[in-house]
Structure 1
Amino acid sequence: MADENLSKGLVDAAFNKKEAEEADKIKEENKANEGDIITFKRDGQQLEAVVTSTNPANSVVCDLTIMEDFHEHNFDFEKTVVAHKNYTIKKRSKK
């Protein structure tokens, strides 16, 4: 009986993990491409950036200097990496 419960628990855990992974996946049509403008929150601030490169698996690299108030933020960087699940697409590029 204990082996049966252990086995059922392992199957349930594997199933739950697979469900969570599927839920975390972002649909391809919702991923940004190079040239798209995205918005995201970082340290409580709403930021905007243009995508300069993509990693289809999990993230984009984007350039923050398109923001009119970029210099007012006093960032130590001009580019940053954002996970697909952490941004929204504001405007698609015309490419």
Structure 2
Amino acid sequence: MQKQDLPIEEIDKAVPGDIVAFERGNETWKGKVIPSGCTNSVVVDLSIMEELPDRDVDSHLTCINHRKYTILSRENQT
């Protein structure tokens, strides 16, 4: 069984402090996951992106579904 075939509860989810990447339009975005009460998604702080001021955004925070991001690094990797 492949990762995309597993129920969302059984795959790795990002937790606060993790750095994630996701696609929006034809661009790759990345940010740091912050604490939230979301169950099907994470809230991501985009302010870690150097090029963020060049992008058309109203806020430095965004919400991303668990199926739509890739974890780039974990805050508490052992």
TM-score by length of 1: 0.67
Structure with bigger gyration radius: 1
Does structure 1 residue 88 correspond to structure 2 residue 70? yes
Q: Which has the higher helix share?
A: 1
Match of 2:32 among 40, 45, 50: 50
CA RMSD between the two structures:
1.9
**Among 36, 45, 49, the residue aligned to 1:67:** 49
Distance between the aligned counterparts of 1:29 and 1:52, measured in 2?
19
Residues 5-84 of structure 1 mapped to structure 2, 5 A cutoff: 23=5, 25-54=7-36, 55=38, 57-84=39-66
Report how many aligned residue pairs link the two structures: 72
Separation of aligned partners in 1, 2:64 and 2:14: 11
1:53 Cα offset (Å): 2.1
Aligned equivalents of 1:77 and 1:68: distance in 2?
15
CA-to-aligned-CA distance 1:44-87 (integer Å, 9 cap, x gap) = 210000000242x3000010010111111131111000000000
Percentage of matched positions with identical amino acids: 36
Instruction: Tell me the distance in 1 between the aligned counterparts of 2:6 and 2:56.
Output: 32
Task: Give secondary structure in 1 for the equivalent of 2:72.
Answer: strand
* Runs of 4+ displaced beyond 4 Å: none
